[in-house]
Homo-oligomer: A and B are copies of this chain.
Amino acid sequence: MIDPLETLKSYVRFPSVSTDPAFAEGMKGARDYATSLLEQLGFNVETVETDLHPVLYAERIRNPDWPHVVLYGHYDVQPADPLNLWTSEPFDPQVRDGRVYGRGTADNKGPTVVHISALSRVLEKFPDLQLNLSYVIEGEEEIGSPSMAKFFDSHGERLSKADFLLVSDTGSPNAEQIVVTTAIRGLVDLEIKLKGAKSDLHSGIHGGAVYNPLQALSEICASLHNPDGSVNVPGFYDDVLPIHDWEREQLARYPETVESYRDMLGVPGFFPANGLSPLEAVRFGPTLEFNGIGGGYQGEGSKTVIPSEAFAKITCRLVANQNPAKIQEAVIAAIEARCPDALKLEIRRGGSGEPYMVVPPGCPNTPADQPEPLARAFESAEASIAKAFGKPPIYLREGGSIPVIADFKNRAGLDSLMVGLFTPLDNLHAPDESFDLSIMENATAAFEEIICGIAGVK
């Protein structure tokens, strides 16, 4: 029997920071530990080499006629710094006030341990469970999953034989209200640089003659939204699907109001576009966001220069059915068309991720060909979560991006059942990351029932 808390503490003690080569030993430790857990459950574990951190691919496949679930998680974590802001050491997990603190406790080692603990309990009770299982645990999620494309090249065919994907790498609002995530936004990344004179100029001697790159940049950036906040790029909204009533009804159950959301963020006001409320806009609407703009003097006080260049870092979050490549080109075309001749424009095309959406069974827009095991899993999840947490889940889109979820769909045909297990209190990617022990307990119980429900046992 796997003890969830002790197992999570052991897993977190391996400092598996994927972005920093100094943590190679921690990466190997976390990988080996995850392998041993999967082997205890009877999985055959394959360590798939990549250019950087291997992917663990585990199978427990007994009969091609049984339902087949793929589970996904990642064994890598974000860097722990700034270290001085942690109450206890990031890789020495400590329990305080019903939470276990440590880097990776919530993202994503805790949810993985919940899955594995639930599986271990089910398989102990039903050693001959009529369910095929695959488990993918990657080690590069925190650096954008660069090796997963190759992994799908080699393993997509085997994965495509499964029925659906089970993931817990999304969020819920608090420890009482679980969200089953129905969509993840896509992502487009680009950077523009405007270049004027060959060096910074004296704003007295030359001011008035040249087009200040910061002025032109402001004008281009300002042109990318309409006064109502909507994105002013031809074609940007062409492929956006309508929002269904059931989605708004689900959101109405969300335990946060516009007022409580505003207080949480500390903003004087909101500015959602396209007639959406702030809570709707982050879930149902695409965005074009400036993540960084800079140029000229950045220090204290004043320095009277006309800078030689200026940059803007732009990302778009895309909703279901939008195409990242198409949007990236549309945004670039708009910027190119609006760049004045008096300046030189350079563009860096960054990475992108597809949006993804899954519709639960029983909705007006549920696909007619939804696989029966996926439908059963959704139904089982609803009942099990309602029982374990005392409230049924809310079905809700999420604003963040997990491109690998769309890859599972596009490369292996698998839709996802996404059960959100972390909350805003968990401090993901920040100091004092933690995981709620009541969620751990209730979710383990819920997943036990979900798995039984999929396998058709009680």
Contacts and interface: CB of A to CB of B under 8 A. Distances in A.
Contact of A399 (B208, B315, B351): B208
Contact of A204 (B185, B281, B301): B185
Contacts of A196: 267-268
Given A210-B267, A270-B342, A302-B189, A290 B215 contact: yes
Nearest to A213: B290
B218 A279 contact: no
Residue among A273, A279, A317 facing the most chain B CB atoms (10 A cut-off): A317
A214 B266 contact: no
A179 B266 CA distance: 57
B344 A282 contact: no
Count of chain copies: 2
A294 B294 contact: yes
Nearest to A210: B267
Contact of A269 (B189, B211, B273, B313): B211
Nearest to A274: B208
Residue among A261, A290, A294 facing the most chain B CB atoms (10 A cut-off): A290
Contacts of A214: 221, 290, 292-293, 312
B210 A270 contact: yes
A296 B297 contact: no
Given A206-B265, A222-B222, A291 B302 contact: yes
A260 interface: no
Contact of A341 (B208, B223, B268, B297): B268
A302 B312 CA distance: 10
A285 interface: yes
A271 B198 CA distance: 16
A292 B295 contact: yes
A207 B298 contact: no
Contact of A203 (B210, B291, B306): B291
A209 B302 contact: no
11 contacts: A196-B267, A198-B265, A202-B400, A204-B400, A207-B317, A208-B283, A217-B218, A221-B222, A294-B294, A294-B295, A302-B313
7 closest residue pairs by CB, A with B:
A198-B266, A204-B400, A292-B296, A222-B222, A208-B281, A211-B271, A269-B342
